[in-house]
C-alpha cells in the first residue's frame, strides 16, 4: 500500500521527503489555503524513505493508517503533479503548528 501524507503536513512542508524519494512521487501544492505535500499513490513504490525522513511524522505507512488523507492524497495528485518543487525546510526548524512536534 502506498504511503500517505497526513494533516500534520498541512502548513508545515519540510520537504525532506521529496529529497529522499527515489521515484519523485511527492508533490507540493495548496490545500485548505495552506502549503501541503501529497504522495501520488499511483507512483509510490513503498520504499520507506519518505517515512523516516519526515521530521514531524506526517507520513503514515499505508492507506489504512489514515483513510481520509489517503483519499485526499489520491484526489489532489493530478493537480499537484505539475507544480514547481518547494525548497527544503531545515529538519530542526520548529513546527509552525503547536500540536506538531519534531520526532527525529
CATH number of the domain within which 19 lies = 3.30.70.20
pTM of the predicted structure, to 2 decimals: 0.95
Given a contact cutoff of 8 angstroms between Cβ atoms, the answer to whether 76 and 37 are in contact is: no
**Structural domain contains residue 93:** no
Given a contact cutoff of 8 angstroms between Cβ atoms, the answer to whether 18 and 86 are in contact is: yes
**Structural domain contains residue 72:** yes
Q: Is 64 exposed, middle or buried (0-12, 13-18, 19+ CB in 10 A)?
A: exposed
Q: Which residue has cell 525548497?
A: 87
Q: Could you tell me the residue range of the domain that residue 67 belongs to? A: 4-80
**Structural domain contains residue 15:** yes
Q: How many domains does the chain have?
A: 1
**Structural domain contains residue 88:** no
**Structural domain contains residue 98:** no
69-93 per-position pLDDT tens digit: 999 999 999 999 999 999 999 999 9
13-70 per-position pLDDT tens digit: 999 999 999 999 999 999 999 999 999 999 999 999 999 999 999 999 999 999 999 9
Amino acid at each position: 500500500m502506498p504511503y500517505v501524507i497526513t494533516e500534520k503536513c498541512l502548513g508545515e512542508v519540510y520537504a525532506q521527503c521529496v529529497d529522499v524519494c527515489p521515484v519523485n512521487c511527492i508533490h507540493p501544492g495548496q490545500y485548505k489555503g495552506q502549503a501541503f505535500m501529497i504522495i501520488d499513490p499511483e507512483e509510490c513504490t513503498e520504499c520507506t524513505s519518505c517515512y523516516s525522513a519526515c521530521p514531524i511524522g506526517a507520513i503514515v505507512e499505508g492507506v489504512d493508517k489514515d483513510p481520509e488523507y489517503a483519499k485526499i492524497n489520491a484526489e489532489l495528485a493530478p493537480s499537484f503533479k505539475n507544480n514547481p518543487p518547494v525548497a527544503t525546510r531545515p529538519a530542526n526548524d520548529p513546527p509552525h503548528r503547536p500540536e506538531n512536534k519534531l520526532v527525529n
